[in-house]
């Protein structure tokens, strides 16, 4: 009888430890994380945004003295700066007449948050 009690007790402890709140939180999406469901990629949304708003004549292209954003590696190396400048409305510059939507800014931010990979 003691063996059954010990087995039951051990099973209860294992169940309790396996179902703690940390594991449950990991399974639940974070409603405050805008990047939870955003899978923006460099080859998708991010390169389109940069090609249409940054890597344009007179801006971030070869021969301007600025970082050339027609080269993927340059975008990746400057990912944090791109995120910061777009989030703060510094880039594209207001005088350019170009603006980014909230979704475009979020796509850039999430791509950076998710590792700014060449994907």
For residue 112, the Cα-to-chain-centroid distance in whole angstroms is: 5
**pLDDT (average), residues 79-93:** 96
Q: What is the model's pLDDT at position 11?
A: 46
Which residues neighbour 79 within 8 Å (Cβ) at sequence distance 6 or greater? 111, 112, 116
Confidence (pLDDT) at 43 = 94
Task: Tell me the mean pLDDT in the region 54-67.
Answer: 95
| pLDDT reported for residue 9 | 57
pLDDT by residue (tens digit) across 22-60? 554 445 555 677 788 888 999 999 999 999 999 999 999
* Alpha-carbon span 80 to 48, nearest angstrom: 18
pTM across the whole model: 0.72
């Amino acid at each position: 009888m003691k063996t059954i009690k010990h087995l039951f007790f051990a099973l209860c402890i294992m169940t309790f430890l396996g179902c703690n709140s940390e594991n449950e939180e990991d399974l639940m999406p974070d409603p405050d994380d805008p990047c939870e469901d955003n899978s923006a990629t460099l080859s998708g949304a991010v390169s389109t945004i940069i090609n249409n708003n940054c890597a344009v004549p007179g801006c971030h292209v070869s021969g301007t003295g600025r970082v050339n954003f027609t080269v993927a590696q340059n975008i990746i190396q400057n990912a944090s700066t791109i995120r910061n400048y777009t989030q703060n409305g510094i880039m594209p510059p207001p005088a350019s007449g170009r603006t980014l939507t909230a979704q475009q800014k979020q796509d850039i931010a999430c791509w950076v948050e998710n590792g700014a990979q060449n994907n």
